[in-house]
A and B are shown apart, each in its own frame.
Chain A
Amino acid sequence: MRRVPAVMAGAVGFAGIVAMHAGSAPSILGANTPPVNSTPTTTVPAGSGPTTTTTPPPTGAARSATGTGENYGYGVLSVKVTVQGTRITDVSVASLQTAEQYSQSLAQQVIPTLKGEVLSAQSAHINGISGATYTSEAYAYSVQSALDKLGVK
């Protein structure tokens, strides 16, 4: 069997899929810069609890919006962001569907820390959590899309 046409077809197929992908999904191979910083500093702490932050009293009416469900490969995550004025007061998980148990427990472990990061950074530009890169990115994107819907930042 002559091999050259098969090898060429393989190269064409490879290039085709890469081209299709680069045009669509922003976070993977794409040119859009994700809100998550590239230097993760926190590692997954064992059994971390929710963090609290002290904030000045919020002004204005409380509004909230749910960000789009972000598909991060091992699940789909969407968060609900509550703001008062321009201040983010709360972030909660609107929906989380994971492919398997490991992703579920990982998400449950890191989401409190991610919430704390959003509240202290008061934006979607947070540090990722090492060991939960996919989850962190999805969280950040969903927060950003909720903020966009609210017209904040």
Chain B
Amino acid sequence: MASLTFDPVETSHRGKARKRTVTSRPGPVPRPVIAEIATTLAGLGLGVCLALAVTAESWKQLGATGGVLMFLGNLTGLAGTYLALIMVLLVSRVSVVERVLGQDKLLAFHRKLAPWPISLIVAHAILLTLAYAEVARAGVLHQIWAFIKSYPNMLTATIALVVMVAIAVTSIYSVRRRMRRERWWAIHLFMYLALALAFAHEIALGPSFVGHPLTRLVWSVVWASTAGVVLFYRFGQPLYRTLRHRLEVAEIHQEGPDTVSIICRGRNLDRLAVAGGQFFEWRFLTRGMWWQAHPFSLSARPRPPFLRLTVKGIGDYSSAVARLKPGTRVAIEGPYGSFTTHARRRPKVALIAGGVGVTAVRSLLEDLPRDCDPVVVLRASTAEELVLGPEVAELVRHRKGRVHELVGSRAEVRMDRLVELVPDLQERDVYVSGPESFVNRVVATLARLGVPEDSVHFEVYSL
């Protein structure tokens, strides 16, 4: 079989460069207002939860034995559970929101928010145990046992709490670092089970819910909707896309010493709406790899019936990728990512890619119009690691831009040189992609050089 190429530009027999007609669908336009509505609703919901806890109280109840502890216990329970639902929604990959904010940023916020729901829920358990123990004039341990034995749904709620604490402990950076990623991930998924187990005790015992059918109904609807969102966007939509496109590995190309391109063949790829710069979560259905999904960018726009991704080798997974056999089926989730031409606000762009970050830049370039005068900076430690260089050069040449290759170790190459390479940096939209440390350094440099925050778009390659 002749080797498949993803040449960006094809020349006609008269030697004039003619852009290949791309028959794939462009990515859907992100609508920032949807993300704003989502964050506003989230804030509204939190205010409502706090008010529910406060309005279930009276001064008399507060003054009674254990009253203040009980109030605080109810408040922390409501707020903590609400924030736990928000945590789930943040990583449920809702495409209309994800397209605007980007999965990497949603994940970063998820990690940042994490201490709050877990602390509030643990505080809730402690405060209510102390409160009930005070009212019943029992010891704490006796009260815990009384909860589990005689209160409806408290056994499942206690199990849920234990699971949540276990997940929280394993997610502490120093603990997580020592675990294998797959094991940590398997434990983390139990959060869905914990939340489901905890639901019943909220409805049965929460003072805002007992005897208040309307509040119970609203809370149940919120829960059911969250579950519905997760089922649709985490399971339903990816399953549909996988079955519709039936991707399988067609060819493997070696691009560099530890970088390979995988070309997949699939059906209905002309109907797959994806923007240049976006990525998928890839699951290769073969022994040893089927239970892991990893994010990789498309390194070119789809050429129906073919797709290409380019993977840099780090660890056993990536070496296994290089040994994939043609015909291996592939399950996908996506497309995800806000690192697209839609993020642009200005006509001119600069694209800065470190190492494997060039993959997103390469596909993004295909979506950029001819008059954007792109300046591309490719950064790599050694010359062999500059993959896809000729393709990038061709795309840039076609758009009358420039490419700069910065090769060398970190000590040799200073990113402060950016302003020399791109004198009008402040007037361009700047796209940065690559490993986390690289992106952080470049974004900090751009901030120092006075590039407005709105004009900087970045995508971090991390696990």
Binding site for B on A (CB under 8 A): 1-3, 5-18, 21-22, 27-29, 34, 36, 38, 40, 71-76, 99-102, 128, 130-131, 133-134, 137
Q: Is B463 an interface residue (CB 8 A)?
A: no
Q: Is B54 an interface residue (CB 8 A)?
A: yes
Assess whether A131 is in contact with B135, with CB atoms less than 8 Å apart. yes
Residues of B within 8 A of A18 (CB): 51, 54-55
Q: How many whole Å from B83's CB to the nearest CB in chain A? A: 12
Most buried by A among B58, B65, B150: B58
Contact with A along B43-65 (1 / 0, CB 8 A): 11111101110111110110111
Known: A14-B50, A131-B65. A99 touches B205 (CB 8 A): yes
Q: How many whole Å from A12's CB to the nearest CB in chain B? A: 7
Assess whether B39 is in contact with A1, with CB atoms less than 8 Å apart. yes
Assess whether A9 is in contact with B41, with CB atoms less than 8 Å apart. yes
Q: How many whole Å from B109's CB to the nearest CB in chain A? A: 7
Assess whether B207 is in contact with A74, with CB atoms less than 8 Å apart. yes
Assess whether B47 is in contact with A99, with CB atoms less than 8 Å apart. no
Residues of B within 8 A of A29 (CB): 55, 57-58
Assess whether B58 is in contact with A130, with CB atoms less than 8 Å apart. no
Q: How many whole Å from A88's CB to the nearest CB in chain B? A: 24
Residues of B within 8 A of A130 (CB): 64-65
Residues of A within 8 A of B41 (CB): 9
Residues of A within 8 A of B34 (CB): none
Q: Is B42 an interface residue (CB 8 A)?
A: yes
8 Å CB interface, B48-89 against A: 48, 50-52, 54-58, 60-61, 63-65, 67
Assess whether A102 is in contact with B44, with CB atoms less than 8 Å apart. no
13 A-B pairs with CB atoms under 8 Å apart are: A5-B39, A5-B43, A7-B43, A9-B41, A9-B47, A13-B44, A13-B45, A21-B51, A28-B57, A29-B55, A73-B56, A74-B207, A75-B210
Most buried by B among A6, A12, A36: A6
Assess whether A12 is in contact with B150, with CB atoms less than 8 Å apart. no
Residues of A within 8 A of B63 (CB): 133
Q: How many whole Å from B50's CB to the nearest CB in chain A? A: 6
Assess whether B132 is in contact with A102, with CB atoms less than 8 Å apart. yes
A75 to B40 alpha-carbon distance, docked (Å): 35
Contact among B64, B132, B211 for A71, CB-based, below 8 A: B211
Q: Is B200 an interface residue (CB 8 A)?
A: no
Known: A6-B43, A17-B52, A28-B55. A38 touches B60 (CB 8 A): yes
Residues of A within 8 A of B101 (CB): 1
Q: Which 10 pairs show the lowest CB-CB distances between chains A and B?
A: A6-B43, A13-B47, A10-B47, A17-B51, A14-B47, A71-B211, A9-B44, A21-B55, A13-B48, A9-B43
Assess whether A133 is in contact with B48, with CB atoms less than 8 Å apart. no
Assess whether B211 is in contact with A76, with CB atoms less than 8 Å apart. yes
Q: How many whole Å from A149's CB to the nearest CB in chain B? A: 22
A-B contact sample (10 more), CB < 8 A, given A13-B51, A14-B50, A29-B55 = A1-B109, A9-B41, A13-B46, A17-B47, A73-B207, A74-B210, A75-B211, A99-B205, A99-B210, A102-B151
Residues of B within 8 A of A6 (CB): 39-40, 42-44
Q: Is B411 an interface residue (CB 8 A)?
A: no
Known: A14-B47, A17-B55, A27-B58. A100 touches B42 (CB 8 A): no
CB nearest to A74 among chain B residues: B210
Residues of A within 8 A of B204 (CB): 99-100
Q: How many whole Å from B97's CB to the nearest CB in chain A? A: 10
Assess whether A101 is in contact with B36, with CB atoms less than 8 Å apart. no
Q: Is B152 an interface residue (CB 8 A)?
A: yes
A73 to B204 alpha-carbon distance, docked (Å): 11
Residues of A within 8 A of B64 (CB): 40, 130-131, 133
Known: A29-B55, A36-B60, A100-B151. A17 touches B48 (CB 8 A): yes
Residues of A within 8 A of B189 (CB): none
Residues of A within 8 A of B205 (CB): 99-100
